[in-house]
Amino acid sequence: MTGLASPAVASRIISPVFVSRLSCLKAVGVATRRYKSYKSDIESLEELAKLKSLDDVDPELVRRLINERTDQLNTQNELDMLKQIQSQEKQQQQMALQKFVRPMWIFLLMSSFVYLGGHWIWWKLEYDEREIELDKEVQALRKELDEAIEQRNSMPDAVQNSTHLQQERSQKSRKWYLAWLW
């Protein structure tokens, strides 16, 4: 009969085998599924952890609380991962800049040394050139002074005294402010 009937009809018919199995399960002590009233005042996993037993707790409530906590931890882990990625990007940017800092300092120091060395050499050459010019001028003035002393020694004494007096008079007759201007 069960072989000829459709599956929908077979599920409605209670066979004697099913009844005997049910009675065996009751005899063994296996409880059949019953709908119990569960505690509904639990709102977090911490409250579940405080309970001695989970027998009076609705499994759907436990599943929901676990899923909520898992979602919270997942979002927190994602935020931590994003922060870590951002910090790694900043470190990579700093590392990229640090690769160029030392060569730039070396370049600046070397270029300063080259500039200062070149400037010192140029200044030294200018100094030597100016020293040569001044030495030539000193020699020319010495020669002129020697000639003037020689002329003075060769002049008669009367001429020397008259030229000397003329120079003193011209200096005294000059006004003091003209000495400053000319």
For every one of its 182 residues, what pLDDT tens digit does the chain have, with 9 covering 90 and above? 444 544 444 444 555 555 555 555 555 555 544 555 565 677 777 777 777 777 777 888 888 888 988 999 999 999 999 999 998 888 887 777 778 888 899 999 999 999 999 999 999 999 999 999 999 999 999 999 999 999 888 876 666 667 766 777 766 666 666 667 65
- Residues 73, 76, 82, 88: is their CA dihedral positive or negative? negative
Specify the pLDDT at position 176.
67
- Is 29 a member of any domain? yes
DSSP 56: T
- Is 137 a member of any domain? no
Specify the pLDDT at position 174.
63
Percent of the chain that is helix, strand, coil (3-state, to 5): 80, 0, 20
Give the integer Cα–Cα distance in Å for 55 and 172: 133
Give the integer Cα–Cα distance in Å for 68 and 60: 12
The answer to whether 65 touches 45, Cβ cutoff 8 Å, is yes
Specify the pLDDT at position 120.
97
- Is 22 a member of any domain? yes
- Is 30 a member of any domain? yes
- Is 21 a member of any domain? yes
Helices and strands (DSSP H and E) totals, the chain = 6, 0
The answer to whether 61 touches 37, Cβ cutoff 8 Å, is no
- Is 18 a member of any domain? yes
Radius of gyration of the chain (CA): 59
- Is 23 a member of any domain? yes
DSSP 155: S
Specify the pLDDT at position 15.
54
Give the integer Cα–Cα distance in Å for 120 and 177: 44
Paired tokens of 134: 């001044």
Contacts of 152 (CB under 8 A, 6+ apart): 160
- Is 1 a member of any domain? yes
Specify the pLDDT at position 46.
78
Specify the pLDDT at position 127.
97
Count of structural domains, the chain = 1
Residue 95, Cα to own-chain centre: how many angstroms? 9
pTM of the model: 0.34
Give the integer Cα–Cα distance in Å for 182 and 176: 10
Note down the domain range covering 19: 1-34
Specify the pLDDT at position 83.
92
Specify the pLDDT at position 32.
47
Specify the pLDDT at position 9.
47
